[in-house]
Chain A
């Protein structure tokens, strides 16, 4: 279905100018349309959950929205203007597979802050603060690349948050975390939202989606199969793909997308 209903829940910000606006975004590779005409607007201060099967295009969509790759057609506008380096600096992304510099945990944070123009003692202060918030203070002087997968994910989130972004992309940030770390990260995401950060969260965890999400975008084969306020949409899914997903069935038929 191409025309999904407009967001109709009262908390949705019909009036507020969208912080990010994608229209008609397409991306091809290897002869197939991986992202096939996606329209999407992000209202400020909300958490948009992106869900969909493996290979549906969630990570690609995040890359396109963040401006890491350019769409073959369509546009992504940040506050009404094309994405540039300054726009990206106001955003942050936690990748599905964290990339750590070959430096200590602390140095990784200091690097991100240095790029943001934070200097001297202030840089160290904020780096140390971010580490203790992520509960990584004990590991400050370890090489970042020897941290466990989960620790690296926590460090990646701490690094993303250290720059005080306005928009935060999180690609499965709790995928390999234990329950305690997952809870800690969910708290950080809620805190971020409370301080006005807009969040786009990819997750496979329906419970997490329900705990955190305001809006839902459900992807199927590179298209938005369904989108809207999260709780209402999950309660009454229109598309066969989302219905199957909610019921825990594997949905392989691609015809619903057209």
Chain B
């Protein structure tokens, strides 16, 4: 151990050398997180749009539920998915525990309410503006949701990026259902936790640097999307 700068140097060495373990961990992380975000978008965008665009009995309850689910503690989600997938659980026969699929399930459950709640807000703001014009034109419910989703596309892109940012940095749920098994379910966040406790600081720090870089890229993308939206007179 030769101090922080030494560890940092070794960490960058690992990144520059494109260390095989490092690459495998980053690859799995991205695969799991992107899968979860795509599924969460497929569910959360239409769900958020419907809750945002229509007045129906129980809408306040739906709002409340989405907001509450948005703050789900990751370890609790991990625990619940674990109970479902464990050998004695209802989905035990599928033998999914400690697989990447289990981690995708857990992350999807975490991210879907976030996507849905943020979508609902974006769609509702837009609907307030469009509502009377849509009523006047006689726009039907399906066309209405489709038009709102399309016209909110820039905001929704930033919503998806927010979901990605949340999922990629998450550790509790994937640790419980994935088990952090080397070369099978070891993700960036879980590896950092483990390698740090083992004293293998250079790998942990290398992964930390990659995570930070990812966060930077995601935020740059959000800013770029906003810029695009302003130029297209979408703001």
Q: How far is the CA of A145 from the CA of B129 in the complex (A)?
A: 13
Q: Which of B129, B130, B136, B147 contacts A66 (CB 8 A)?
A: B136
Contacts of A103 in B (CB 8 A): 151
Known: A101-B151, A102-B232. A92 touches B136 (CB 8 A): yes
Q: Flag if B137 contacts A95 (CB, 8 Å).
A: no
Q: Give the number of A-B contacts (CB < 8 Å).
A: 52
Q: With A102-B151, A102-B232 known to touch, is A68 a contact of B132 (CB < 8 Å)?
A: yes
Complex Cα gap A114–B135 (Å): 14
Rounded to whole angstroms, the CA-CA distance of A114 and B133 in the bound complex is: 14
Residue A180 is within 8 A (CB to CB) of chain B in the complex: no
**B:37-96 near A, CB below 8 Å:** none
User: Which residues of the partner chain A approach B132 to less than 8 Å between Cβ atoms?
Assistant: 63, 68, 95, 99
Chain B residue contacts of A52, Cβ below 8 A: none
Q: Which of A81-89, A218-226, A228-236 contacts B (4 or more CB under 8 A)?
A: A81-89
When A95-B132, A95-B133 are in contact, do A102 and B234 touch as well, CB less than 8 Å? yes
- Residues of A95-130 at the interface with B, using a CB-CB cut-off of 8 Å, are 95, 99, 101-103, 111-112, 114-116
Q: Which residues of A contact B234 (CB under 8 A)?
A: 102, 143, 145
**Which of A63, A89, A102 contacts B137 (CB under 8 A)?**
A89
Q: Of A67, A85, A99, which contacts B130 at CB under 8 A? A: A99
Q: Does B17 contact A (CB under 8 A)?
A: no
Chain B: interface residue total (CB-CB under 8 A): 16
Residue contact A143 to B147, C-beta cutoff 8 Å: no
A88 touches B130 (CB 8 A): no
Give the residues in chain A near B143, CB-CB below 8 Å.
114-115
Q: Does B140 contact A (CB under 8 A)?
A: yes
Indicate if the CB atoms of B129 and A99 lie closer than 8 Å.
yes
- Whether A227 sits at the interface, judged by CB under 8 Å, is no
Is A89 a contact partner of B138 (Cβ separation < 8 A)? yes
* Residue A43, interface by CB 8 Å: no
Most buried by B among A66, A85, A115, A144: A115
Nearest neighbor of B152 in chain A, beta-carbon distance: A102
How far does the Cβ of A202 sit from chain B's closest Cβ, in whole Å? 15
In residues 161-206 of chain A, which contact B (Cβ within 8 Å)? 163
Q: Is the CB of B136 within 8 A of A68?
A: yes
- Rounded to whole angstroms, the CA-CA distance of A99 and B134 in the bound complex is 10
B129-178 interface with A by 8 A CB criterion: 129-130, 132-133, 135-140, 143, 147, 151
B16 at the interface (CB under 8 A from A): no
With a 10 A CB-CB cut-off, give which of B130, B140, B147, B233 has the most chain A CB atoms.
Answer: B233
Query: CA A103 – CA B153 in complex, angstroms?
Result: 11
Known pairs A92-B137, A101-B130 / 9 extra A-B pairs, C-beta < 8 Å:
A68-B132, A95-B132, A99-B130, A99-B133, A102-B233, A115-B138, A143-B232, A145-B234, A163-B137
**What are 20 sample pairs from A and B whose C-beta atoms fall under 8 A apart?**
A63-B132, A66-B136, A67-B135, A86-B138, A88-B135, A89-B137, A95-B133, A99-B132, A102-B151, A102-B232, A103-B151, A112-B137, A115-B137, A116-B137, A116-B138, A143-B233, A143-B234, A144-B233, A145-B233, A145-B234
